[in-house]
Amino acid sequence: MNYQEVIKETVEELSKLEKETKDFKGRDRVRFLRLLKIGEATSQKQAGIMIGLQMRQSQRLWQKYQAVGLAEFIKSHYEGRRSKLSESEKSILAERLKEDDVMSLQQAQDYLADEFGVSYRIGGVSYIFKQMRVKLKTGRPSNIKQAEAESQAFKKNSGFGQKVSKAALLGR
């Protein structure tokens, strides 16, 4: 097959499009066509091997290019997975987390099931919290025998509770 005649785009157009395409799949697809157009690859199999595809995948790419044209050929139709929670539900969850009554992932999992009717595994709840940038908030440990009044008096008298400038710390 004479790919130079069948591929309508020029080599310059393909080269420019290959450089401009940010999507890896789209860029490889344009490279596939460019290799066939300039004659560096004499068959679909050779062009496919040069971009890391098997023969059958190369044949499918060629069929797709002939069927839909270049614009649709390089488009990526990947959308990713959609979250079970909408953005408004995530904002409601964030407000609920500010109330400090949800202390564990299990409690959050139960809340999501009761409030929104959505079932998540513990790992899924953890992932949602990671997306929302929610972190576990814990207080610093303190000795249970420590007297609160005496520690406050110590902080006031020793200067630990006061803000100190950098100059004062450096002795300037």
Residue closest to 119 by CA, chosen among 92, 88, 84: 84
**pLDDT (0 to 100) of residue 160:** 60
**pLDDT (0 to 100) of residue 152:** 81
**pLDDT (0 to 100) of residue 116:** 92
**pLDDT (0 to 100) of residue 113:** 94
116: Cα separation from own chain's centroid: 24
**pLDDT (0 to 100) of residue 79:** 77
pLDDT digits (tens, 9 = 90+) for 3-41: 888 888 888 998 998 898 888 888 999 999 999 989 999
Q: Which residues of the chain have pLDDT under 50?
A: none
Q: Report d(CA 46, CA 36) in Å as an integer.
A: 9
Q: Report d(CA 44, CA 32) in Å as an integer.
A: 8
